[in-house]
Amino acid sequence: MLAMQADTAAHRLVPVHKPVPFAGDGDVLVRVLACGVCRTDLHIIDGDLPPHRERVVPGHEIVGEVIACGSAATRFSIGQRIGVPWLGSVCGRCAFCRMQRENLCDAAVFTGYDRDGGYAEYAVADERFCFAIPDGYDNVQAAPLLCAGLIGYRTWRKAGGSTPKRIGIWGFGAAAHIVCQIAAAHGQEVFAFTRAGDTKGQEFARSLGAVWAGGSDAPPPEILDAQLIFAPDGALVPLALGSVRKGGIVVCGGIHMSAIPAMDYSLLWGERQLQSVANLTRTDAEEFFAVLQIIRVATNVQVFPLTQANEALQALRSGTLEGAAVLVP
């Protein structure tokens, strides 16, 4: 099979031919129909995250068709369309797993990081951590839901869900364009922060329900109740704290962020909170996909052939994507 393998020294992907993987006892083998391109993939390839496996095949927003099941795999049937997310397995025994916080498991296995992912024609996954795809989404529309959607949803929920009246979203990419629609559908006022001068991105945010959109170099017209940061820029943290009310919260939704600059304690004083989001849980997926049965979310995608995965990553690096990139074998 064709796969795009990470060369972290060169910060790029290399096309290789590998054997079709084998489904272990509790695994399913899927033919990859589409795989979203996530900023985490970029962090792995660019070396922002410590390597877990040499020459890994990235990709953890996989929509695939089940073509084989391991001897103990019974959840899905041959021919069924399923999604494979970032969280690939957990130990099930540690304190975090016992507290139903499996996203923090120290022995977690991640798709496209610890085991090969979906930048390939076929992939294998533990069936316990896969999900049926919500109705009404085709393959490429569904792919971004499996990380951008899930992490966006968890970040929004950590910030209070539908409770805050005014929320800011910093970095208007794949996750932000999904969670903006969810927030707007709940009657929240969304204030979108993009790169300075990105008028096209600001127009995109307003088209998805944002009541205001501007550059990250400009303060919002009102003080906000909560802020969600998806851009990997630590310099945004004090800016976000500076425009959130007393008792408000700033939640950082990315897996990697540049250094947060020194800031005055007054930005936190007044019981403001600063929190990160780490990975996801299966419960997040169950809740999120249930929400999608009520709220129709449109994913804006740009499709690239698998062989053009480097071009897709460069578009993400440069900030020229509007929404999400999706690879199709």
- pLDDT tens-place string over residues 49-99: 999 999 999 999 999 999 999 999 999 999 999 999 999 999 999 999 999
- pLDDT tens-place string over residues 1-25: 999 999 999 999 999 999 999 999 9
Looking at the fold, whether 25 and 120 belong to one and the same domain comes out as yes
Looking at the fold, whether 82 and 14 belong to one and the same domain comes out as yes
Number of helical (H) and strand (E) elements in the chain, helices listed first: 9, 17
Average pLDDT for the chain: 96
Question: What pLDDT does 320 receive?
Answer: 87
Domain-terminating residue out of 276, 300, 316? 276
Average pLDDT value for residue range 133-155: 95
Nearest alpha-carbon partner for 290 in 97, 173, 92, 149: 149
Contact residues for 266 (Cβ-Cβ < 8 A; gap 6+)? none
Looking at the fold, whether 128 and 157 belong to one and the same domain comes out as no
Contact residues for 93 (Cβ-Cβ < 8 A; gap 6+)? none
> Phi and psi of 297, rounded to 5°?
-100, 130
- Residue 214 CA to residue 198 CA, distance in Å, equals 8
Return the number of other C-beta atoms located less than 10 Å from residue 261's C-beta. 9
Angle separating helix axes 148-158 and 282-292, nearest 10 degrees: 100
Q: In the chain, pLDDT over 90 holds for what percent of residues?
A: 95
Looking at the fold, whether 246 and 216 belong to one and the same domain comes out as yes
Looking at the fold, whether 54 and 168 belong to one and the same domain comes out as no
Looking at the fold, whether 14 and 156 belong to one and the same domain comes out as no
Domain-terminating residue out of 232, 254, 276? 276
Nearest alpha-carbon partner for 49 in 313, 277, 255, 280: 255
Question: What pLDDT does 84 receive?
Answer: 98
Provide the residue range defining the domain that includes 271.
150-276
- pLDDT tens-place string over residues 166-186: 999 999 999 999 999 999 999
Q: In the chain, pLDDT over 70 holds for what percent of residues?
A: 100
Return the number of other C-beta atoms located less than 10 Å from residue 111's C-beta. 30
- pLDDT tens-place string over residues 259-299: 999 999 999 999 999 999 999 999 999 999 999 999 999 99
Confidence of residue 135 (pLDDT cuts 50, 70, 90): confident
Looking at the fold, whether 102 and 247 belong to one and the same domain comes out as no
Looking at the fold, whether 136 and 27 belong to one and the same domain comes out as yes
Looking at the fold, whether 86 and 131 belong to one and the same domain comes out as yes
Question: What pLDDT does 114 receive?
Answer: 97
Angle separating helix axes 174-185 and 199-207, nearest 10 degrees: 40
Give me the number of domains the chain comprises.
Answer: 2
Looking at the fold, whether 131 and 70 belong to one and the same domain comes out as yes
Q: Are strands 109-110 and 87-89 parallel, antiparallel or unpaired?
A: antiparallel
Q: Counting Cβ atoms within 10 Å, is residue 217 exposed (0-12), middle (13-18) or buried (19+)?
A: exposed
Looking at the fold, whether 75 and 21 belong to one and the same domain comes out as yes
Domain-terminating residue out of 232, 252, 276? 276
The domain that holds 316 is classified in CATH as 3.90.180.10
Looking at the fold, whether 102 and 156 belong to one and the same domain comes out as no
Question: What pLDDT does 46 receive?
Answer: 94
Residue with tokens 């139903």: 100
The domain that holds 263 is classified in CATH as 3.40.50.720
- pLDDT tens-place string over residues 195-215: 988 899 999 999 999 999 999
What does pTM read for this prediction? Answer: 0.95
